[in-house]
A and B are shown apart, each in its own frame.
Chain A
């Protein structure tokens, strides 16, 4: 079993890792000849399937496996990966390979990099400033007071600033657990019926800021009216639908006429944000299982702008999902009314205009 590759677009890789890491600590990675797939499936919360073509983030990619279709499956902790990628951002060269250390499998990242700002003079307690402000005008000052070694220090530091900075080679070993194909073949990507509404989301930073604000308001509202609800006993079902204290639910709706609605209702407040003029991308009839005119979205479109497809999401989970906005790709949301919400996040290739990869979010939704 061999895997070795150079890294490219480290920033994209790093952002993707950060987005995944906000949902779950460990990812399942599946590599084959042309795809690298990251999957996170949290116990509770939204799951992500990121299928990327190898050349989005890898270069000089080599894979060799005895398993069918030349695949390698392993579990990878995202925190250490993110930390390692941070070292690789801005590096001159980085590669990744599967190896073993002390008998344990490791994903080893080798990075050639410089330190951030070299030996440039910096602010601090040293330097000539200090000398002029605190040194008394005593000609003998240098000879008194300090152990003799101090004199050496000043000389050395002068020399040092002349030195050219060298490239450092950093090796980051991330522990992994190689998975047998049998253990992963049962994990299936979720199946969803044809969506009723598909719509391009507004800029995620905006959507996230407002969603987070709603979530915080729900928590505040719940805690301020908490006294009247009678202590911490909390009948779960009652609190949940109303945006209870522990996990406020946001209601998301969209229509086939360019509108997206975000709504929060609690006992004490009811707030709504609506976006208009968003795009409902057109479907490609050749790729549909049903004729376009019979597709649910056509039905919704004909029903007019008052026909909304609605799902309820958990405020905190939704916030973690929206963290994918850091990838700065277009996001298409697919609503199956009262059933499911899926986000498709398009990650453009930096060096191949027009090429895109897709990260799919299966957002956890709740019944009313």
Chain B
């Protein structure tokens, strides 16, 4: 089999496995908040963004105005604007249709792995990208439907510590970037911004507020003597 397919499937399978508890959790919570199994499956299939699906579900249960639910999901997903901007220079070779399809699957781990691959100097082929994407997408759909099906059987997520998996997972992704230039000031700013936003404005706005703080600090940090791109490739070889 094509090496890109094998590598994509392998990398994606790990993500699919670690995301499956969240998919089950999402399905269970969705049914608990009055959605049907079909609605939950449709959300996973068309929105395909775990954290925002959970935010949406929480607001469904509170009978918030529909436009506010859509706006909240947009706010949580706002980071993807930055992802598609950052990935643009690595997918110049894709056709229009390939780009349109690829962007639908641009979730957090997809972006993190794609950027890592590109920065290691390896080609970000459409084949690798889709193998990685689909091996996450279908289990995500399957496990959220399964979770919705079993619904209340999961009980309180705290008993099985399901609730800590999401933050632990995101913390791990962040620590993977710790050798990047400007990592510590950026993370410190994002931490301060998101925690302050959480208390002063509330969820889900803290996501966008914290992200803007971190990105602003990165933009204001002194530029390195050599171009950033060179520094990244040196890092990868050391």
Same complex: no
